[in-house]
Amino acid sequence: MAQATPALHPDIEAVLVTEEAIQRRVRELGAELKRTYGGAELTVISIMNGAILFTADLLRQLDNPVRLDCIRISSYGNATESQGTPKLVHSLTLDVTNRHVLLVDDILDTGKTLALVTGMIRGLQPASLRVCVLLDKKGRRQVPFEADFVGFAIPDKFVVGYGLDYAERYRNLTSIGVLKPERQKLST
Ligand code: IMP
Ligand code: MG
């Protein structure tokens, strides 16, 4: 995956997933979702802010009827390490009971966020609940969690771009890259 590509941004040490690779994989994920759900209506729940770009691209691969909702979880603050227990800051507005729910997140890291959110949604008794993540840092799990659909398995590096941030920056980069270690120490 890592390759010599023109510099994405001066704060990026290396590009891990190129824009082209992301777009190709998103199309494949759309096909995987189609195989799983057929033409059924989906209630897609996107975890803000990180999953917004991925969700927007993924939704355009689907021709199913789709309802979209967003939730917000706090866990990181401005650090690159998860701080304690994630909290639900902004909750669902759509009903999910008896619905086919697809939860979308940018990255599966310790597993704490998705364990919390899937537990909460399961309590609302959806018809089905599946999880789609763009990135999976498998080596970092603190609670057991597997996603149903995974874009890319990546090594334990702090990455930004295509929705992923450090201190709310870099979300608009079109590729995903490893943030230079010296940039990870800056406050806000
Ligand atoms: P978890 O609860 O530890 O699985 O963390 C999931 C959340 O942490 C993701 O939704 C991201 O917001 C954030 N996160 C984890 N790793 C990274 C990273 O490498 N870059 C940016 N955000 C990350
Ligand atoms: Mg996030």
- Mean pLDDT, the chain, rounded, equals 92
| The model's pTM | 0.93
Classify the C-alpha dihedral 67-68-69-73 as positive or negative: positive
110 lines ligand 1 (CB under 6 A): yes
| Cis peptide preceding 78, ω within 30 of 0 | no
Q: How confident is the model at residue 91 (pLDDT cuts 50, 70, 90)?
A: confident
d(CA 89, CA 59): 24
For the segment 23-38, what is each residue's pLDDT rounded down to a tens digit?
999 999 999 999 999 9
CA distances from 87 to 95, 117, 122, 186 (A): 20, 9, 17, 24
Which of 17, 75, 90 maximizes ligand 1 atoms within 8 Å of its Cβ, making it the mutation to test the pocket? 75
Structure tokens at 64: 């199913």
136 lines ligand 1 (CB under 6 A): no
What kind and span of H or E run contains 88?
strand 87-90
d(CA 147, CA 134): 10
Out of 109, 136, 148, 165, which one is annotated catalytic?
109
Ligand nearest to the CA of 165: 1
